[in-house]
Structure 1
Amino acid sequence: MGMINEKLRNELSDQLMAAVLLLRNTEESYAFFEDICTVAELKAMAQRLEVASMLRRGNTYDAIVERTGASTATISRVKRCLNYGADGYELVLERMRQKKDEKNRQEVDEDVRK
């Protein structure tokens, strides 16, 4: 994992990260983030995650702009984080890929049993 920006770390930020780790499912996550973020902030975070995913899959800026509506400045910032950041995107994208692969394997297993 990359270096965490020490300017971000403080008691309040630690408390926020601990709170996020307490969320048990998607519904709890929606409820918490709806309360703590504006709709625009949530959409921006979701957009950045999709931009990161698309960059990792080798999509062009044009394709990313078309699909997500992200500005080229946002895409550049996300790309910089992917290349030189704390590896948070990489960690999450890899875990999401693993979860998707596991789900696909389970679906194939269920189809085989039918």
Structure 2
Amino acid sequence: MAYESKFKKEEIDALFEAILALKDEEDCYRFFEDICTVNEIHAIAQRWTVAKLLDEKKTYNEIEELTKASTATISRINKCLVYGADGYRRILDRLKEK
């Protein structure tokens, strides 16, 4: 059964198509610098770091200290890892295979 997102829209499909067209890290920096604010990029990067640390079985206190993320943010990401759409999990596992 194919995954159906709760927020699927044509404009989001177009955004994801653009992201999938990025060829390297420089493309990523240039694209995301133009499309996001600095704070948005830092927030996304922080969430990704929290997900990786949760996957490494770090405690909430350790993660809070390392990332300065709130316990609410850490809890939300943990909930996504356990009950979410498997977005974090798929990429964490894919990167482990490298």
* Structure-1 separation of matches of 2:97 and 2:31: 25
Match of 1:112 in 2: none
TM-score by length of 2: 0.93
| 4+ aligned runs moved over 6 Å, structure 1 | none
* Structure-1 separation of matches of 2:26 and 2:52: 23
Match of 2:41 in 1: 42
Runs of 5+ in structure 2 lacking a partner?
Answer: none
Checking the alignment, whether the CA contact within 8 Å between 1:51 and 1:75 is kept in structure 2 is yes
Task: Report how far residue 5 of structure 1 moved.
Answer: 3.0
Match of 1:68 in 2: 67
Compared with structure 1, are the counterparts of its residues 65 and 2 closer, same or farther at alpha carbon in structure 2 (3 Å cutoff)?
farther
Q: What is the root-mean-square deviation of aligned Cα atoms in Å?
A: 1.6
- Letter of the 2:46 counterpart: Q
Match of 1:107 in 2: none
Match of 1:94 in 2: 93
Match of 1:28 in 2: 27
- Letter of the 1:5 counterpart: S
TM-score by length of 1: 0.81
* Structure-2 separation of matches of 1:49 and 1:89: 8
- Letter of the 1:32 counterpart: F
Runs of 5+ in structure 1 lacking a partner?
Answer: 100-114
Task: Report how far residue 81 of structure 1 moved.
Answer: 0.5
Checking the alignment, whether the CA contact within 8 Å between 1:2 and 1:86 is kept in structure 2 is no
Q: Which has the higher contact order (CA 8 A, sep 6+)?
A: 1
Checking the alignment, whether the CA contact within 8 Å between 1:82 and 1:90 is kept in structure 2 is yes
* Structure-1 separation of matches of 2:30 and 2:19: 11
- Letter of the 1:12 counterpart: E
Task: Report how far residue 2 of structure 1 moved.
Answer: 8.9
